[in-house]
Amino acid sequence: MKLPLITVNAFATQAFSGNPAAVTLLDAWLEDSLMQAIAAQNNIAETAFLLKSGPASYHIRWFTPAVEVPLCGHATLASAFALRECFGEKAESITFQSLSGPLSVTCKGETYTLDFPSQPPSAAPTPDWFINAFGANPIEFHQSAYSLAIFPSQEIVAALDPDFPLLAKTKGSNVIVSAPGNEHDFVSRFFAPADGIDEDPVTGSAHCILTPYWAKRLKKSKLTARQISPRGGELLCDLAGDRVRITGKALLYSEATIYV
């Protein structure tokens, strides 16, 4: 069987920035084990599998090299980009049916806007695993779909050097670290070794948590954000009730055929 494989850098403004995602459009679902094996061989943060369900409507599933995940922002943006640039989709608004419900992506010029669920975090005690893994004590700790640790400065977040093997064997240790930005409203990093990703370059789904947190703290609904991983990425975030709109750009990296 031959399958198309498009690799897109999401939330990127130049080559080798943003977060790479692989996208393939299927005629029928593959076995879960085969999709997981393809994602493992791709060995990038996410591989998205798409199946057309109607006009400008697609089912979407996301796999890291290790597991299927319920929500992924950058691979959804990459999927919309790949559909329009490589698979002939003409619609400016595309709907994806996912494990997290319907998600839409709107294209305007070179920008893509995700419409995702808001996931406000709740304050919680800082767990021992975080202090042991990071060697640092945040000023706030919160829980949502991922944990969120808040630090006082961008410089502290940039300097964090976690113990990845310890995080990898700790259940529920997927964690965002964040602080006020020097040139943006906030900055962040995201770590998920237990899901096969030591540090994710740019994480759209993390901003479902970050946006309501910083919107409340800064008393503004429109926010500029940067994920300060080594690759880095820019995001514009807009809190709209129980939804978060996350806007970014994308660049095509490669077009290939895989044989499975």
Which residues are catalytic, by number?
A: 46
- The CA angle 10-33-40, to the nearest 5 degrees, is 40
10-residue mean pLDDT profile of the chain (260 residues): values are 97 94 98 98 96 97 96 96 97 97 95 97 98 97 98 98 96 95 98 93 96 98 97 96 97 97
- Exposed, middle or buried by CB within 10 Å (0-12, 13-18, 19+), for 69? buried
- pTM of the model as a whole: 0.92
What is the rounded CA–CA span in Å between residue 117 and residue 208? 6
Q: Which residues have C-beta within 8 Å of that of residue 183, sequence separation ≥ 6?
A: 226
pLDDT at 44: 94
pLDDT digits (tens, 9 = 90+) for 177-196: 999 999 999 999 999 999 88
Q: What is the pLDDT of residue 216?
A: 98
pLDDT of residue 222: 98
Q: Tell me the per-residue pLDDT of 193-227, one tens digit each, with 9 for 90 and over.
A: 998 899 999 999 999 999 999 999 999 999 999 99
